[in-house]
């Protein structure tokens, strides 16, 4: 993406970036004071927030969109413009949206700004970024084997969550809570989620291949 990029993808990137940053900042402004009230230091509270896959992934989306808008010719801009990187980001934020709306929505009866932030992080940003990927991202060169590389992110997150949970007792999601479920069940849950990641990744590659064939047919 550069200054000659059509207006539509740039406007969509701007919209995603604004919503993502707003939702992230709002979530921190709500949650950090609550954690401070429980006796945590500010650093501990911020570190706790970054224990959530939702926060990490929305920050990734927000940074990617911002860099592509403001510094597309920079090394980070060129990196985020790669078809494989943009598809990986799509996979991660799509998984966040699906995971929340299928597994966790009933656990979060939020209202007001908290509800607005929650919907932005888990529904609006995922939908808009998938739309951006579908309409405007170059999908040349994507292959099924790329799906294996994209699994590094969720695997790294799982390891981090287990290490943090083992040392602090905090597990960000109920299906990862070793204290309540035990290691065997948590490992089973993680395996199923990883399979879900892989299936979605293969689906994105299939969509990319279909769109390439569609363009060739035209």
What's residue 2's pLDDT? 58
What's residue 140's pLDDT? 87
Q: Are 60 and 77 in contact (CB under 8 A)?
A: no
- Structure-model confidence comparison of residues 184 and 103, the more confident one: 184
What's residue 216's pLDDT? 47
Give this prediction's pTM: 0.92
The rounded mean pLDDT for the chain is 91
Cα 163 to Cα 169: distance, rounded to the nearest angstrom? 10
pLDDT at 32 over 50: yes
Which ranges of the chain does DSSP label H, i.e. alpha helix? 7-37, 42-49, 53-70, 75-80, 83-99, 112-119, 125-136, 146-150, 152-168, 178-181, 183-217
pLDDT digits (tens, 9 = 90+) for 101-135: 888 777 667 788 988 999 999 999 999 999 999 99
What's residue 156's pLDDT? 96
């Amino acid at each position: 993406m550069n200054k000659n990029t059509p207006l539509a993808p740039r406007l969509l990137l701007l919209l995603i970036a604004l919503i993502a940053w707003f939702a992230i900042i709002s979530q921190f402004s709500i949650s950090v004071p609550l954690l401070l009230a429980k006796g945590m230091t500010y650093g501990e509270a911020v570190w706790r927030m970054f224990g959530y896959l939702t926060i990490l992934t929305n920050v990734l989306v927000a940074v990617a969109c911002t860099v592509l808008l403001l510094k597309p010719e920079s090394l980070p801009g060129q990196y985020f413009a790669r078809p494989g990187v943009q598809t990986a980001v799509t996979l991660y934020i799509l998984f966040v949206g699906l995971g929340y709306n299928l597994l966790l929505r009933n656990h979060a009866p939020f209202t007001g700004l908290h509800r607005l932030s929650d919907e932005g992080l888990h529904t609006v940003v995922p939908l808009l970024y998938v739309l951006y990927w579908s309409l405007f991202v170059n999908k040349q060169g994507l292959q099924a084997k790329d799906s294996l590389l994209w699994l590094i992110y969720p695997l790294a997150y799982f390891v981090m969550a287990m290490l943090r949970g083992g040392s602090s007792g905090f597990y960000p999601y109920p299906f990862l809570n070793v204290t309540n479920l035990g290691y065997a069940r948590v490992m089973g849950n993680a395996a199923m989620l990883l399979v879900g990641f892989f299936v979605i990744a293969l689906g994105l590659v299939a969509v990319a291949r279909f769109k390439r064939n569609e363009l060739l047919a035209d």
